[in-house]
Structure 1
Amino acid sequence: MEDITNRWRKLKLTDKEAPEMKLTKISTKENTLAGKFFTKRKLSIEVGACTFRNIWNTEKNFEVRDLRENMLLLIFKDEVDLEWAIKQSPWTFDKYLVALQKLDEDKSIESMSFNSSPFWVQLHNIPLRMMSKENAEVIGSTIGKVEEVDVLVSGQGYGRFLRVRVKVEIGQPLCRGRLVDLEDRDPIWGAFRYERLPVFCYKCGKLNHNERDRQGKSKSRG
């Protein structure tokens, strides 16, 4: 879909509309997030605010404003609470994903796109001698943008699997794993397990709908 800037360039402007206006920049100095609820039912601001206040239990209160289309503006009194909410994501409502995004002061609300969300992904079946931060980043980069790797200070992995936090594209099928080249042995299947995974479709692998949703769409078209 074309953005607003591209659309107005194609319009024939009147004498009042054509001159460009200069606006003064201000700094909001607010700790603000926008949240997009991917639930299939219409969300009220009261339900959204109550949900977040119950599950977050922040040290200080935060203000909630309705942006419509299942979007809320969350204004925090304390930046620590905001960073904690992002760090602990992904969040869900009705088992559907809630995507959070920091506001960019140089962009409008309408131009915001909620097309990705961070997930902790477990990388299973990786041989002990290859469980390292470097290898986790290599594998994780095939899933999305790597944000963090859960390893020891030395960079060595530990436990039964590697953990890597990556930004996953919401509109793309989830990657189930990768073939891992062991050089001196046959390749093995490195299986991925997504922590706190919301509703997704086992058939197409995409988030925010399941087979029941697909069946509902098919019936409505019929």
Structure 2
Amino acid sequence: MEESSGEVREERDEISLIVEELIQLSVKGSMVVPNSKPTLICTVWTEKPYNSESFRAQMKNIWKTRKKFEIQMVGQYLFLIIFYLEEDLETIMERRPWLFCKSIILFDRLIQTVERD
């Protein structure tokens, strides 16, 4: 909260991101809000630090999908994977487990607002 000339005003942390191909993710405070496309939220289950760009590059290289997909970083080691086809999302989920640097990648379908930690 910010106090100015006797009046109290609450600041809101609201950001709207428009990424390649008009993929939109709204981040309000510490909330991740789903968009209309089939989306997974994921992280790599490890305590070791890793290069997020390497993660993105490797997933784009090994996942064979019919249409392209986007990987957005929405927190420290927290990613949204946005697909253009529901079938591509289903294929990725069916072929689990996926590994990155010998650590398992944890996925969940993003269908409701999620709080980031």
User: Within 5 Å, which residues of 2 pair with 1:68-79?
Assistant: 68-79=75-86
- The one-letter amino acid of 1:108's match is V
Structure number, greater radius of gyration:
1
Contact 1:45 1:72 in 2 (8 A): no
Distance in 2 separating the partners of 1:56 and 1:39: 21
1:110 aligned to 2:109? no
Distance in 2 separating the partners of 1:100 and 1:30: 16
Higher relative contact order (Cα pairs below 8 Å, separated by 6+ residues)? 2
Q: Which residue of structure 2 lines up, in the alignment, with residue 45 of structure 1?
A: 52
Q: Deviations over 1:190-216 (max 9, x none)?
A: xxxxxxxxxxxxxxxxxxxxxxxxxxx
* DSSP 3-state at the match of 2:71: strand
Structure 2: any 5+ residue segments left out of the alignment? Answer: 1-7, 11-32
Number of residue pairs matched?
Answer: 88
Distance in 1 separating the partners of 2:70 and 2:82: 5
Q: Which residue of structure 1 lines up, in the alignment, with residue 24 of structure 2?
A: none
User: Within 5 Å, which residues of 2 pair with 1:58-69?
Assistant: 58-69=65-76
Structure 1: any 5+ residue segments left out of the alignment? Answer: 1-14, 18-25, 112-222
| C-alpha deviation, 1:80, in angstroms | 0.6
Distance in 1 separating the partners of 2:34 and 2:104: 30
Contact 1:38 1:70 in 2 (8 A): no
Paired residue for 1:57, among 56, 64, 67? 64
- The one-letter amino acid of 1:110's match is R
| C-alpha deviation, 1:27, in angstroms | 7.8
TM-score by length of 2: 0.64
Distance in 2 separating the partners of 1:102 and 1:87: 13
Closer, same or farther: CA 109–27 of 1 in aligned 2, 3 Å: closer
Question: Where has structure 1 moved over 3 Å in runs of 4 or more?
Answer: none
Q: Which residue of structure 1 lines up, in the alignment, with residue 27 of structure 2?
A: none
Q: Which residue of structure 1 lines up, in the alignment, with residue 87 of structure 2?
A: 80
Distance in 1 separating the partners of 2:105 and 2:34: 27
TM-score by length of 1: 0.36
User: How large is the Cα RMSD of the aligned pairs?
Assistant: 2.3
Contact 2:40 2:82 in 1 (8 A): yes
Identity %: 27
1:29 aligned to 2:36? yes
| C-alpha deviation, 1:59, in angstroms | 1.4
